[in-house]
Amino acid sequence: MTNRPARLVVLISGAGSIMSALVDASRDVEFGATVAAVVTENPNAGGLSVAAASGIPTAVVALADFPDRLTWDRALARTIDAFEPDLVVCAGFMKLLGEPTLAAHAGRIVNTHPALLPAFPGAKAVADALAAGVKVTGCTVMLVDEGVDTGPILAQAAVEVRDDDTRATLHDRIKNVERDLVVSTVGTMVRAGWAIDGRITRLGQHTRRDKE
């Protein structure tokens, strides 16, 4: 990256707890990034007011306002592009990104998942981990590709599964670890770069954008 703080566009659908953690981290100039905008498809997302209170621009691109999914995909891509992000961070964003956004920001879209991928992909990851009887699960930060939870893995952290865990208690502990993992991973990416070789990622290495 250049000497200026990296610009993050954060995509949310709800309360935006990961977004809030990124905003808090960005107050330290050593973090190396600033949240340039928060974008959502949900006009009632609680994170919108949190972002606005911090003076961060927000945008709503509601699927219901468009005649079809492709038109929405294109509008979302234009909205993201207008904020000139260095990284796009999906922080509880509940829609799959379409080709317009994926093409514009290939290798620069970060997502998180409440399981140790490739185990337990999909929306029921925490429940699936409990049903499988695993003793350890966790969270994964990865780059986004065209699939569902299939992108190259950037970082992972383990969370113990306790005998008395419910889906809610386990998910709460995963989310606490997940927030820290996203912040630390994004911070490393913007300060030290990253490289992708097929499915292998390496943090702390230069990318072509480092020279821009």
Given 105, 113, 171, 206, the catalytic residue:
113
Return the number of other C-beta atoms located less than 10 Å from residue 118's C-beta: 10
Compute the distance between CA of residue 89 and CA of residue 70 in angstroms, rounded to an integer.
21
Residue 115, by phi and psi: left (phi above 0), alpha (psi -120 to 50) or beta?
Answer: beta
Task: Give exposure, 163-202, as e/b (b: 16+ Cβ within 10 Å).
Answer: eebeeeebbebbbeebbebbbebbbbbbeebbebeeeebe
Burial of 43 (0-12, 13-18, 19+ CB in 10 A): exposed
For residue 87, give the H/E element and its range.
strand 87-90
**Which position has the token pair 């029921």?**
124
The residue type of 115 is A
Active site residue 105: no
Just list the catalytic residues.
Answer: 113
